[in-house]
Amino acid sequence: MFDISLTNIFTEISDGFLNPQKRVFVGYLLSAFLIAILWSVFMRKNSLSISLKEILSPKIWWSTSSKSDYKIFAINKLIMLLLSPALIGRLVIASGLFYALYDIFPSRPIILADSPQWLIGAIFTLCYFLFDDFARFYVHRLMHIWPILWAFHKTHHSAETLTPLTVFRTHPVEMVLFSLRSTFVQGMSIAFFVFFMGERADLITVFSANIFVFIFNILGSNLRHSHTPIAYPKSLEKVFISPAQHQIHHSTDIRHRDKNFGVVLSLWDKWFNSFHHSETKQSLKFGITPKVDKQNDCIDKSHTLNTLYLRPFYDVTMIAKATLSKRPRYFIKRNQNHKHTINT
C-alpha cells in the first residue's frame, strides 16, 4: 500500500525544488535572490558585498529557528507521504460534483459556447486563481482566530528568522487542513468548469505552472519569508501583498497582530479589516507573543521538535478544558482581544 522509502522521500524533496508548480523551485529561489540583491544595492545603497553578507547571513540561515525549519521540512515530507493516500482526492470530489451538477442541470447547458478557446482558458485560470487565493486567505484567517487552530499554526509563527523554507514550517495538522483546502478548491473549480464549458476548460500555464502562480513566484514570493523588507507603492499594496507586508504578519509587535492573512491579493484583507501597509524603514522582530493569558497560550521559543510537533496537542487539551469549565476565559478573552486589534 504505502510505498515509503528513502528514494521516495528524496524524490519528493527534489521534486519540490525542480517543479515550477512549487514555491521553492530553484528558478523562483534564484529570482528572489537576485531581486533581494538588486533591492539591497539600489534601494538601500549597500555595497554588493554587504548585500550578499546580509542576505546570506548565517545568523539567519543557520539560526536555531532556521535549523528547525530544515528538520521540519524533511520530517513533514515523510509524514505527508504516509498521510496523502488517506486523504480524499480531487478527482473524487471533481467527478462527484460533476455528477451532482447533472442532477441539478439535467440538460447540461454549455455556457459561452461561441467564445474562443483562449478566452475560456483565461476565465478558468483567473477564476481558479481568485477562488484559490481567497480560500487560502480564509483558512489562514481561521488558523489565527480560532484558538484550536491557532495552537497548531503557532508552529509556523514561532519562527524567529525567516527563510524561503519557513514556508514548510507547518504542523502536520495544518498541513492536512491546507491539503484538503487545496483539494476542495481544485475539485470544485474543475467540476464547475468542465461541466459548464466542456472540453474547452483549460489552464493557462507557463513552464507547466499556472500562469498566476508563475508570476507571483518569479516576482519574489520567496522574499515573503526573508529579512528583506521589499515594499510596494501604497496603491499597489492595496491590491497585492508585498513581502514587507507579509513580514508584518510575522511581527511580534502588538500593532501587527492578526494582519495581512492573504497570499497574493490584499483585497481580502481589506474586506475583512485585517489590512496593514508596510512601514518605512521597517525593522521587525519575528515570532510570537502571548495572545491571551499565558496559561493557555504557550510561548515556547526552544525550537525543539518536541515543542513544535507535540506542544499544540497539549494546548488544545488546555483549551478544551477551559471551554468545558464554567468560565470559558480563553474564548472570552480571545474575542475581546480580536475586536481590539481590529479596531486599532
Cβ atoms of 243 and 228 closer than 8 Å: yes
Closer of 133 and 315 to another protein (Cβ) = 133
Helix (H, G, I), strand (E, B) or coil at 182: helix
- Per CB under 8 A, 149 contacts another protein: no
- Total residues contacting another protein by CB under 8 A comes to 52
Closer of 36 and 135 to another protein (Cβ) = 135
- Per CB under 8 A, 242 contacts another protein: no
- How far apart are alpha carbons 46 and 285 in whole angstroms? 22
Instruction: State which of residues 11, 41, 78, 98 lies at the interface with another protein (CB under 8 A).
Output: 98
- Per CB under 8 A, 3 contacts another protein: no
Closer of 58 and 106 to another protein (Cβ) = 106
Closer of 128 and 330 to another protein (Cβ) = 128
Q: Is 336 exposed, middle or buried (0-12, 13-18, 19+ CB in 10 A)?
A: exposed
- How far apart are alpha carbons 79 and 82 in whole angstroms? 5
Cβ atoms of 319 and 151 closer than 8 Å: yes
Closer of 191 and 316 to another protein (Cβ) = 191
Task: With residue 8 as reference, give the H or E element that holds it.
Answer: helix 6-18
Least Å distance between CB 240 and another protein?
Answer: 14
Task: With residue 64 as reference, give the H or E element that holds it.
Answer: helix 64-83
The CB density around residue 259, as the number of other CB atoms within 10 Å, is: 21
Interacting stretch for another protein, rule CB under 8 A, among 48-56, 102-110, 232-240, 279-287?
102-110
Q: Measuring CA to CA, which residue among 56, 91, 81, 300 is closest to residue 191?
A: 91
Q: What are phi and psi of 154, to 5 degrees?
A: -60, -30
Interacting stretch for another protein, rule CB under 8 A, among 33-41, 163-171, 298-306, 307-315?
163-171
- Enter the C-alpha cell of residue 255: 500593532
Cβ atoms of 297 and 290 closer than 8 Å: yes
User: Pattern 52-91, binding to another protein, x per CB under 8 A?
Assistant: ----------------------------x---x-----xx
- Per CB under 8 A, 106 contacts another protein: yes
Interacting stretch for another protein, rule CB under 8 A, among 14-22, 36-44, 228-236, 333-341?
14-22
- Per CB under 8 A, 338 contacts another protein: no
- Enter the C-alpha cell of residue 230: 521589499
Helix (H, G, I), strand (E, B) or coil at 286: strand
Closer of 249 and 291 to another protein (Cβ) = 249
Instruction: State which of residues 141, 154, 224, 291 lies at the interface with another protein (CB under 8 A).
Output: 224
- Per CB under 8 A, 141 contacts another protein: no
Torsion, Cα of 109, 113, 115, 120 (10° steps): 50
Closer of 156 and 303 to another protein (Cβ) = 156
Rg, C-alpha atoms of the chain: 21
Question: Taking the CA of residue 230 as centre, how many other CA atoms within 13 Å lie in the half-sphere pointing to its CB?
Answer: 25
Closer of 207 and 313 to another protein (Cβ) = 207
- Per CB under 8 A, 252 contacts another protein: no
Residues interacting with another protein, by CB under 8 A?
A: 16, 19, 21-23, 80, 84, 90-91, 94-95, 98-99, 102, 106-108, 128, 136, 140, 143, 156, 167-168, 170, 174-179, 182-183, 186, 190-191, 193-194, 198-199, 201-203, 205, 208-210, 224-225, 246, 249, 263
